[in-house]
Each structure stands twice: as structure tokens, then as C-alpha cells.
Amino acid sequence: MASESSTLHIVMLPWLAFGHIIPYLELAKLLAERGNKIWFVSTPRNIQRLPKLHPHLVPNIDLIGLPLPQVENLPEDAESTLDLPYDKVRYLKIAFDELQDSMAAFLQTLSPDWVIHDFASFRLVPIMEKLSIPSVYFSIFTASINAIFFPQSAVIDGVDSPVEPKHTTSKPKWVPFETTIMPRNFEMERVFNDAYIDGGNVSDLYRLGVTVKGASAVFVRSCYELEPEWLQLAEEVVGKPTIPVGLLPTTAYDDEEDDDKKAAWLEIKEWLDKQEKGSVVYVAFGSETKPNQEEVVEIALGLELSQLPFFWVYRKQRGSADAEVTKLPEGFEERTRGRGVICTSWAPQLKILSHDSVGGFLTHSGWSSVVEAVKFEKKLILLPFLADQGIIARLLVEKEMGYAIARDENDGSFSRDSVAESLRVVMVEEQGKVFAENVKKMKAKLFDKERQDNYVNKLLDYLHAPTMYQPSGSNKN
């Protein structure tokens, strides 16, 4: 068994976004539990913001904070996408590129068995090759996302080829089966400049291409129980071992919170305790996504029209450099007081989702949020904003695990009426029961401990003996 093999020394380097950092940390925990030594690398501020590790993991996980080089146009306190508006993220990527110099010195000193890293650290690839350190690209996205975007010429050829959004919104010729899982035009338009043009000094697809070319294998945050055909296709189009790691649900150490956070949770819990079981809609759009002013208004008025109790984690600004500070509609908080809560500070998402009074989750369809919702059997109301979120939303709709809010196909606009109607369909009407039933069934498959352990053991089997790897296939796990 992999868990009984000799200790591996592994460096892990996620991209500077908490939607990436947290899944990497969850994988680090699973690897460390099996006796492997992990060096988890980010920047000092990001390391400070990580959830506290359980004491039994501390000996096997070293948290390494490498100072982020300062670059022009990047605010001094910005060390993750959490701290920045969209138009400043490209400068974070430029700073991350310069961080690779200190990573090179770190790797030369440490000489690990493996580096598990993210799409953005393409400058690390020639360094690892020079040091003869093998690497794995760990994709925090679903297999469907990987299968759809990997075959782009920037990935295959390693060149920064021009691409237009319209090229990415129809079923690719390499997908041999019928599916609705494709991004919409408005989702690609919103992510287009970052992914294809303005990912720092080079596009994100070019970064991904160099990273994948240099990697021995690709790890994917998915499982055969959810995406069997997409996992098989992803391996075919990548042309390298493509190994699912399971869904890596976020875990929390009970004693990690300080007194202020404990007090905040008690206040939240007091309100939730007063609500009827399964009646509350939890509303949150993750650390990356921030609806614009028009969208905030329609979401708010849709919540009001729905007449449902809600708890909304509302981010009006992405860091101090964000000039677009959104506002709630005038009088909204007064009109919904008692029925709804607007939370503009820290909120313990795992604890809120685990509460019995929460029945549904209005979400941007970020993969971590979806995984957490399914773990706690919450019905999903889907409002994706970017391409990866749209693909996840379509996967959930195809499997009848979630209900998508109606939107204009071209510009992505939506109305307060469509928000209210979708909320009531899922939370109140007979039609909504199917989503609850399917989420419950899928939870039993996706969060079975033995299956998750099996994924990690197979992953470790590969890391111990990569030349012995054979594709698992959907019927062998």
C-alpha cells in the first residue's frame, strides 16, 4: 500500500488565490497524514491567513512564507487575489513570476522528491528540469474544465496563440459525447482578458501550457463517481497520466478560531437557531467573485421578492485598491431586517452550511463552495460569473444537482424576478425536491472515506513509482 511506503518529500506551490490555496492545503493534509513530509509554500500574509493545522499534522507540514517581490502597480499589502480588483490581478502574476527566483534557491537547498504546483508557476519549469526535480500539475478544477481547455493551441504548442471568446463557447470537436457543459459567451468575455491576453506578461493559457509540458502527470480535483467520461477524455487530450484526487472537502480544526471569531459565530448561530429547519438561503460568491453594482441590486431585490429568510455574505470591495465599491439598494436592509442578514465581515462558511436551518445555497458555482454544499446536503441555486464557474454550473444542472438562474445568453444579465423565481423553485416548490434528493445521493458516493482514501493511495502509488502507472478507468475505482 502507498501509505506504508517510504516517506516522500514534497514541495507544494499553489497560485496566490485562496480558491487554489485551500484545496492544495487539503491535499497536503491527506499526504501528511500518511507520513509524507510537505513544504507548503506561499507568501507570508497568505500563510498567516491559513486555517490552523491540527497538532498531529504540524510535524509533517512546514508552512513556508516567501516574500512577494514588489512590482509596479501592485498594492503593497496585496498577496492574493482576495486583496485585488480584477484589473490588478495581472500585476500579482508578474510578482509571482519574480517569486520563482527565491523558489529556485529554496528547491536547490531542499532537493525534494516532487514539486506539486499550479498553472501560474511556468517559470519554475526550467528550474526544476535543471535541478532534475520531477513535478506534477495539480488542477483545482473539474475534469470537464481540463478536458475542454487543455487542447487549446497555447497548451499543446506552448505558444501564445491569439484566441477569440467565440472559439470557446461551442462543443469542441475532441469531445466525442453529447453534453451541455460548455461556457457561455458572457462568461468567456469576462475572463477573456485574464486567461487569453492579460495574465501578467503572458496569457494564462500559455502559463498552463508550459506547466503541463514540464509535468510528469496531472492531478485533478475530481472523481470517477462524478465525471467518469470527462476524466477519461482529459487523460486522452493531455497525453499524460491524469489522476483524480477526490473532491478534497474543506476541513477545519475546531480550536483554530480566536475569541473574536468565536463570538461572531455565536451571534450568527443565535439568528440561525431561530429560523425554521431548511428555510434559510445562504448567499455567498467566494473570495474571487464580486458581482457588479447592477448585479448586486438584482440579487438583493430578488432576495426581497422571494420572501425567504437569507444570510448574505456581502463583499462590497475587493481589497483597498478596488475603486468600485458596490452598494445595496436604498431601504433594502430596513425592509428585510429580521428576515435577512447582511454580513460584511468574516463568516464561517462551513459552520453556516452545516446548520440545520440552512436549506439552500445561492452560489457562484466555485468548485470549493459546491463541494462544501454537497457535503452538507444543501440545495444549489447557481449564478456563475466566469468560465470555470459556468462549466461547473452546467455539470450540476446536467446531473440535476442544481438549478441555474435564467440569464441573457449574450451579456449575462439577470433580473430580480429570475432570482426570486429560482429561489422559490428550489426552496419551496415541489420541483425543488429532486435537487435535494440528487445531492443526497451524490453525497453518499462523493464523500465516502474509503473511496477518498483510495484516490490518495493511488496518487501516492504514482508518486512512488511513476513508471508503473496504468490508467484506472471509470470502472476500476
Residue count (the chain): 477
DSSP of 267-306, one letter per residue? Answer: HHHHHHHTSPTT-EEEEE-TTT----HHHHHHHHHHHHHH
- pLDDT recorded at residue 174: 84
- What's the CA gap between 182 and 36, in Å, rounded? 38
* CB half-sphere exposure, 265, CA atoms < 13 A: 16
Query: 65: helix, coil or strand?
Result: strand
Q: 69, 41, 25, 87: which is closest to 319 by C-alpha?
A: 87
Cell of 197: 491576453
Residue 11 confidence (pLDDT) above 90? yes
CA dihedral sign, ordered 210, 137, 242, 289: negative
Task: Indicate the average pLDDT of the chain.
Answer: 89
The mean per-residue pLDDT over the stretch 149-161 comes to: 54
Kindly tell me if the per-residue pLDDT of 5 is higher than 80: no
Cell numbers representing residue 433 in the block: 425536491
Give the pLDDT confidence of 202-237 residue by residue, as tens digits.
Answer: 888 888 889 999 999 999 999 999 999 999 999 988
Report whether pLDDT(357) > 70.
yes
pLDDT of residue 322: 79
pLDDT at 163 over 80: no
- Whether domain 259-445 has CATH 3.30.70.60: no
- Tens-digit pLDDT profile for residues 296-341: 999 999 999 999 999 999 988 887 777 788 999 999 999 999 999 9
Strand partners for 340: 310, 337
Q: Based on DSSP, count helices (H) and strands (E) in the chain, helices before strands.
A: 18, 13
pLDDT of residue 85: 85
355: its cell numbers: 446548520
Q: For residue 474, what pLDDT band results from cuts at 50, 70 and 90? A: very low
Q: What is the mean pLDDT of residues 67-80?
A: 93
* CATH architecture assignment, domain 2-249+448-468: 3-Layer(aba) Sandwich (3.40)
What pLDDT does residue 151 have? Answer: 61
Q: Could you write out the DSSP letters of every residue in 72-109?
A: TTS-TT--SGGGS-GGGHHHHHHHHHHHHHHHHHHHHH
Q: What is the DSSP string of 150-169?
A: TTSHHHHT-S-----GGGGS
C-alpha–C-alpha distance, residues 322 and 180, integer Å: 35
Positive or negative: CA dihedral 75, 81, 87, 91: positive
Question: Mean of the pLDDT values across residues 49-70?
Answer: 95
Task: Check if 2-249+448-468 and 259-445 are the same fold.
Answer: yes
Residue 284 corresponds to which cell in the numbers above?
Answer: 455567498
pLDDT band of residue 475 (cuts 50, 70, 90) is very low
Q: What residues are paired with 281 via a beta bridge?
A: 310, 360
Question: pTM score, two decimals?
Answer: 0.91
- Please report, for the chain, the start and end positions of each structural domain, with discontinuous segments joined by +: 2-249+448-468, 259-445
**pLDDT at residue number 428:** 96
- Helix, strand, coil proportions of the chain in percent (round to 5)? 45, 10, 40
**Alpha carbon 87 to its chain's center:** 20
